[in-house]
Structure 1
Amino acid sequence: MTLTIGPLRLRNRVLLAPMSGITDAPFRRLAWRFGCGLTVSEMIASGRVASGHDTRLGHAAGSCGDAGPAAVQLAGCDPVIMAEAARACADQGAALIDINMGCPVKKVVKGEAGAALMRDEPRAAAIIGAVVAAVSVPVTLKMRAGWDADHRNAPRLARIAEDLGVRMITVHGRTRDQFYGGHADWSVIGDVKAAVSVPVVGNGDVGSLDDARRLLARSGADGVMIGRAAQGRPWLPGLVAQGLEAGTAPAEPDLLARAAIALEHFDGLIDHYGGYRGLRLARKHMAWAVQGLRDAAAFRRAFNAETDPACARAALVAFWAEARPERADGGPAAGPSAREAA
């Protein structure tokens, strides 16, 4: 099974969520290589795109063919500026424009963008209509269940979006006031699926093949989107996609493979951003990559103190050579290290 978004046919129905500061080009390349059905750029402010000030645009829209179809997510509150930004992205090679109406972060909401648009349906409709009219590529929408428990308007906004020409809708099963706490309510994804005829993708609390299966069964959604669970695990969306198709869960990468992935990711960040910025961005990614391994905390402290990319890389290589899983009870880890297993 796969997903079709207008003329765009995806290779499977598992998508990587757009995450600010995380789903940059190096991360998306890895996720795509491991089988993700679609990767979406970090959220990009429409005003910076329209004015030509956002240097990430080219990487998000046109220069990442090795990360699959270029899908760019835009955020903003002005229909004219959003339309200009969408047009600029399409001109630079974007195959899909995604409108963000789900970001719960205070500074985004304060600017009447992201999830704030769910409490202003006329403005949301104006933005959707303007973006759809501005580009010939498919336009999609990502939103939440609603603003809060008393205003869960996702099905109504989804119908508005479909009527205006949106080709796919992704629903995170939390309201804005939940941020990322509590549990995602997958039933609201089902309510949206029942309200529209375009494909609906479910998002929220999908961290495994079993989670994806349960979300699809409970909601009737056409696909799933994986976000925070992929941090440090860029292979996860592809692994889940394989499992949905095959019916059995593929094995997670072993320690040797994880070591190679971490090093490839580190090198990609340095190549993409340069030594100074790339090293600082690598700190969080490498911290996620070593979760659950023996001496991970000590490694993070040492790695975060490094200021030279070459020294940081050497520390990474040395850690992974001796990496072992940490036992749940805190005792000595069992099994061979990555070096011993090689």
Structure 2
Amino acid sequence: MAETYYKAINWNQVEDQIDKATWEKLTEQFWLDTRIPLSNDRDDWRSLSAQEHTLVSHVFGGLTLLDTLQSQDGADVLRDDARNPKEVAVFNNIQFMESVHAKSYSSIFSTLNTTEEINEIFDWVDHNPYLQKKAQIVNEIYQSHKPLEKKVASVFLETFLFYSGFYTPLYYLGNNKLTNVAEIIKLIIRDESVHGTYIGYKFQLGFKELSADQQAKFQDWMYDLLYQLYNNEEKYTTELYEEIGWAEDVNRFLRYNANKALMNLGQSPLFADGIAENVNPIVMNGISTETNNHDFFSQVGNGYLLGKVASMKNSDYDIGRDNN
């Protein structure tokens, strides 16, 4: 008999049940932007001011950049450090869905914006210093740091940095505007919820293998990184939201999600005021990852195809939080 040259993946022998559960959750949640009737939001879009048009467009431009980073580099570098072939398969799925997320924003732009406006959005993205800085910070970790550090950067991006952008469509959803655009955002949030908890779980496995001294040093690095990202994010938020008067509300939302990112990593929260009660209740209601059921015949919402699919909770990945 010839020696084995290449191993076939065997899903009947699963090294970690979380890999199988996450694969099943992500495939149940599969969706495409083309199934959401974005054109139904055009009347709402026309009712918004020019200032609001700029805000929404720039917010989605920033989210496009971050999802592009995740689809082109983030999942790739995490896959390189996978513990088993099922984990590789999960990251393949994550990478594809990050590409779907990035494309979804272009679907929104093509529905609501003119060609001239779309060109302005991407020019703004290319040259905004705070947006480019956070992409640079995260990508430099992806390209040159250790596996656990890459996982931290990924969780901070998906569970924290995205949310300065998510605030806007969730706010409009709570005011019954741009509901189909918000449907896409809720689908993206539902995916990111699974991505963040899964990668956080994989981080915790490796973190627990460190000595107490190594854990302490790593935590210093992790919290320093979060401070660095938060300080930049405050400036980004101020630029986006100060004129419309939402900056402090968005920053409270960011602190809440920064704490959530730390929880995904099995760490203690950083911001004392980063709790749900301090976040705009309209936005907190919108952050629920349940989605609407649509039946638009040729254009259908995710609920029609998939039914209700709950996001995985942090407790699904709980391997103990007794950090040294």
State the TM bucket, normalised to the shorter chain.
under 0.3
Relative contact order: is structure 1 or structure 2 higher (C-alpha 8 Å, sep ≥ 6)?
2
What TM-score, normalized by structure 2, do the two folds share?
Answer: 0.25
After TM superposition, the score normalised by the length of structure 1 is 0.24
Structure with higher strand content: 1
More helix by share: 2
